Amino acid sequence: MALLAWSSTYSVEVEEMDRQHRVLFNMLNDLHSAMLQGKGQDLTGHLLRMLVDYSRKHFAAEEALMAAAGYVNLATHRMKHKELIKQVDGYVKRYEKGEIAVDLSRMSFLRDWLTDHIQQTDGDYGVCVKTYISARKLGAA
């Protein structure tokens, strides 16, 4: 059973960001599946590192798009991204040292953070970025 299922309720109506959010959903589902199946630490650790690396790339792309669109809450949004990366980086380091495991509470935290962040924080930039993208398309036509 998947931890997350994509639906239109998660759409920020920005095609590229929705695509990247679906990738994050799939990565969390893969990590969750590995945890449930008791996969080895190497596989789980690899999936966890991939999730963090992709999150960094996604956050950078999202922030660049918001900056280009002149999104007024970019600084606050960027801070939320940095806080999550710091928290998850610490988690990965502790996991790699064998101090903690990937467990249901950590998976629930990641799931809840991602879904809440997309629906609330990311949802706020949707209109601004959509307007910017539409204006660029009109200017190029």
Domain with residue 36: its CATH number is: 1.20.120.50
Contact indicator for 21, 12 with CB cutoff of 8 Å:
yes
Give the residue among 62, 112, 109, 67 at the shortest CA–CA distance from 82: 62
A 10 A CB-CB count for 14 gives 22
Residue 4 lies in a domain: no
Domain that holds residue 55: 14-140
Between CA 55 and CA 45 the distance in angstroms is 15
Total domains present in the chain: 1
- Assigned domain for 9 exists: no
Is the model's pTM score more than 0.75?
Answer: yes
Is residue 3 situated within a structural domain?
no
- 7 falls within a domain: no
Specify if 8 maps to a domain: no
Residue 1 lies in a domain: no
Count Cα neighbours of 35 within 13 Å in the Cβ-side half-sphere.
22
Binned average pLDDT, 10 residues per bin, the chain of 141 residues:
92 95 96 86 86 96 96 96 93 89 89 94 92 84 54
Query: In this predicted structure, what is the pLDDT of residue 141?
Result: 54
Residue 18 within a domain: yes
